Amino acid sequence: MTPLLEVDGLKKHFPIRKGFFSRASGSVYAVDGVSFSIGRGETLGLVGESGCGKSTVGRTVLRLLEPTQGTIKVAGQDITQLDSQDLLPYRRRLQMIYQDPYASLNPRMTAGEIVGEPLLVHDLGAPEERKERVAALFERVGLRPEAVNAYPHEFSGGQRQRIGIARALSLKPELIVGDEPVSALDVSIQAQIINLLMDLQDEFKLSYLFVAHDLAVVEHISHRVAVMYLGRIVEMTDKRSLFEMPLHPYSEALLSAVPIPKSSARGRKRVILTGDVPSPINPPSGCHFHTRCPYAMPRCKTEVPALREVIPGHLASCHLHDGGVRSPLAAAS
């Protein structure tokens, strides 16, 4: 079956301009060759530290940013080069939920107007039908009917995120990109929003690209997880394989920091990452992770490890596995 979303070799480089003539003096390699697919009704969690390019992937997939290279297909149709007119039907099918529900909601519009705006923009339904649809959406995401007349500042953070979700749902999308949609919320509210997203996925067969820096959040909602480091995916597999047997030292380090008791990562040797993520303007040669990897070998500085299937369904990009599967921690002992 054709996946709903196929991304192949996606790159997004931002030119850095300097001087009076704004000459390009370099690039930020925010996304540097990323490939993945998402099936219908599936959630792919995209995880990594701040600045690794995960949010840029989400925005580029939706064509909110223009890709530098690579292809984006929706249900087998290449949308990479479509102009704004031809892209319009896909804008309905692909929606976004933002990290900061307050900043993403127009403070001068009522919640009802915010949720109904996409219907208006796409000229869908008569005014009365739009009103009914908005009311149904409010009910579905757990907002009181009278809240349609309130303004964003009158809601709590969790309620504002429900407004953002209702707005994203208004056009009956097939794929929603969640850009850290629960990161700004209290932990108890996070669970409510994640449960709501999972219920909506079951009900509407939605697919999610769920961008997060928190592996505990991703473990709960994702079917598969892709781990990103400095613009590249370094490991991708189903969540169980990742949590039980991470094959990339970076994933191992992220997992060893997960504080949740039910995680199978508990009891693992703790791997403390030293240093910050290097700049995406001048990323390290070879394996981007070699400057922080406790298992780096001389070849890691010069040879880029390919993202390949180390065991069935489990992809990793690390020279440690060139001679077969090897647990990163075992390699160090």
Q: Interface mask (CB under 6 A) for ligand SF4, residues 307-326, using x and -?
A: -----------xxx------
Question: Given the rule CB under 6 A, which of 24-32, 42-50, 175-183, 284-292 is the region that contacts ligand SF4?
Answer: 284-292
- Say which residues have a Cβ less than 8 Å from residue 229's Cβ, sequence separation at least 6: 48, 49, 52, 250, 277, 288, 289
CB of 333 to ligand SF4, least distance (A): 14
Q: How far apart are CA 75 and CA 105, in angstroms?
A: 30
CB of 292 to ligand SF4, least distance (A): 8
Binder to ligand SF4 among 10, 305, 307, 315 (CB under 6 A)?
Answer: 305
Q: How far apart are CA 15 and CA 280, in angstroms?
A: 12
CB of 49 to ligand SF4, least distance (A): 15
Question: Given the rule CB under 6 A, which of 26-34, 51-59, 171-179, 287-295 is the region that contacts ligand SF4?
Answer: 287-295
Task: Write out the two tokens for 65.
Answer: 């940013």
Q: How far apart are CA 78 and CA 171, in angstroms?
A: 21
Q: Please answer whether residues 147 and 202 qualify as being in contact, where contact means their C-beta atoms are separated by less than 8 angstroms.
A: no
CB of 325 to ligand SF4, least distance (A): 13
Binder to ligand SF4 among 130, 160, 167, 290 (CB under 6 A)?
Answer: 290
Q: How far apart are CA 128 and CA 15, in angstroms?
A: 47
Helix (H), strand (E) counts: the chain: 10, 12
- Positions in 16-35 near ligand SF4 (CB under 6 A): none
Binder to ligand SF4 among 90, 98, 210, 289 (CB under 6 A)?
Answer: 289
Radius of gyration of the chain (CA): 21
Interacting residues with ligand SF4 (CB under 6 A): 248-249, 287, 289-290, 293, 295-297, 300, 305, 318-320
